[in-house]
A and B are shown apart, each in its own frame.
Chain A
């Protein structure tokens, strides 16, 4: 399997997308080229509305690209598939299913026998710290708990690739730290290929093997920063915040993102002048 580890898992080439609306076509992204290796954790940051979700939805197979192609394992992506799991920006677990039945939903669809399913689900519930809440409905959980259920549901179906769209945006700061550490560990352990969208530069640098920065709408990828593999086994916030090199990288990424706040160069100049006066 190690030979395949460096193989190309996802290839996006010449991708560009327009939405057809009542008021004419809206360009959602610029041209995007992107390759993700198997087992790689790629994070994407960029200003709001630059087309991150659009790119992810195309990779998931929900929308047909207006231009360009997306391949997964060498096969052209035309529709959603079980090998590409998605965690949505909006909460997408079903309100009419209990925690247990939500997490086991993918397995149920795949026809996994009940006993096996229950076993796996129970293990995952323990892992995400929701023991005791198995039979609650989503509306009885906190926002953070719901998001954990959403991640666990995708995880349970055991996809090769996981596409995540700001999964922790709605989670409180403390819980978020734990979830990020857990996710990092889990991904290293299971060698999943992950594409992860976020607004938080720290999160992107902390989790990613590689950070992509997008320009404002219509977004293209303007920079790629490789994050050196951390020495001692991984990602924990304590070592991250004390690691000078990491902090340096984070600062660099932040500068790149700041430059895309959504102002035109002229406006930027005026704003700077205003601040100076």
Chain B
């Protein structure tokens, strides 16, 4: 989710109900989730049928579905998806490994924090994609270029939120540990890392949201595979079915990453420690 102030409260744990009921309830829930989409598809179908559009402008949901099935069964999608996932994965790893220590270092000193804050905001103002032309001159039309743009976009919120998280840890947590004889390394592993984790996860989530968009945009321009290339390439050949199918996959994949990777971390640690407000 790309928002700042929308935070999901940890979902209440479902109370165990007799299984028959639970299954029925779950089915009801999934129907509820799907219902608005069914309405949307119906509208789309109606417009398409009524308007008699040429294929280069609008195709039926059926066509999109068939195309998606075809692309998936031929393994074409898998290739585009794996290219994108690989880049976002590597970019995330680099950003965490580099960004979190920087965030700690800067967060430990208020002058450093103040000095970096303005700079980071400036960097965020110049979106990664604006540097793309220059990076293309450096690295050419390669995955390295895409990766550079995504890391640039992803790392800023991670540094920023690590910094904020570190500064928000009550001072006496560290003092108490020092009076128990803790050395610096121990302070980092036992106080700063867990203490800043909620904020780091927020940064990671924001970063992945920004980074995912930067990835799609960069792939459109670099044209070396990936989902952005898939939908942008389809445009030149007028394959609307591919474009819409690609968009559906991009959205679904992003939600999957967010829900299956980032949220579980949040629920496992932060919600359990009761550090999340509300």
The reply, when asked whether chain A contacts chain B directly with Cβ atoms under 8 A, is yes
A contact set with B: CB distance below 8 Å = 57, 60-62, 79-82, 84-86, 88, 90, 92-96, 105-106, 109-110, 137-140, 153-154, 157
Docked-complex contact A80 and B178, CB < 8 angstroms:
yes
- B259-278 vs A, CB cutoff 8 Å, 1 = contact: the mask equals 00000000001001111000
How many angstroms between the C-alpha atoms of A137 and B194 in the bound complex? 14
Docked Cα-Cα span, A94 to B195, in Å, equals 9
A90, B220: Cα distance in complex, Å: 54
Interface residues in B106-162 by Cβ distance below 8 A to A read none
Asked if B248 CB lies within 8 Å of chain A CBs, one says no
**B-side interface residues, number (CB < 8 Å):** 22
Interface string of B176-218 (1 = CB under 8 A from A): 1111111000100011001101000000000000000000000
CB neighbours (8 Å) of A153 from chain B are: 176, 180
Question: Which residues of A are found within 8 Å of B179, using beta-carbon distances?
Answer: 60-62, 80-82, 84-86, 154
CB pair B181 A105 closer than 8 Å: no
Shortest Cβ distance from B274 into A: residue? A139
Docked Cα-Cα span, A92 to B275, in Å, equals 14
Residues of B within 8 A of A86 (CB): 175-176, 179
Instruction: Give the 5 A-B residue pairs with the shortest CB-CB distance, closest first.
Output: A139-B274, A82-B181, A92-B176, A106-B180, A96-B194
Q: Main secondary structure on chain B at its contact with chain A?
A: helix
Contact of A137 among B175, B186, B191, B273 (CB under 8 A): B273
Q: A88-B176, A105-B190 are in contact. Are A95 and B273 (CB under 8 A)?
A: yes
**Most B C-beta atoms less than 10 A away, residue of A79, A81, A96:** A96
Residues of A within 8 A of B275 (CB): 95-96, 139
What are the residues of chain B within 8 A of A139 when measuring CB–CB?
273-275
| Across-interface contacts of A140 in B (CB, < 8 A) | 274
Which residues of B are in contact with A by a Cβ distance under 8 Å?
A: 170, 172-173, 175-182, 186, 190-191, 194-195, 197, 269, 272-275
Cα distance A145–B98 when bound, in Å? 40
A81 near B181 (CB under 8 angstroms)?
yes
| Contact A96 B180, beta carbon cutoff 8 Å | no
Contacts of A84 in B (CB 8 A): 179
Minimum C-beta distance from A10 to chain B (A): 14
A80 to B195, CA, bound (A): 21
A88 touches B180 (CB 8 A): no
Closest B residue, CB atoms, query A163? B179
Taking a contact as CB atoms under 8 Å apart, the answer to whether B175 and A157 are in contact is: no
Which residues on the B side are within 8 Å of A96 (C-beta)?
194-195, 197, 269, 273, 275
Question: What distance in Å separates the Cβ of A237 from its nearest Cβ neighbour in chain B?
Answer: 29
Task: Check A106–B181 contact: CB distance below 8 A.
Answer: yes
Nearest neighbor of A111 in chain B, beta-carbon distance: B181
Q: Which residues of B contact A82 (CB under 8 A)?
A: 179-181
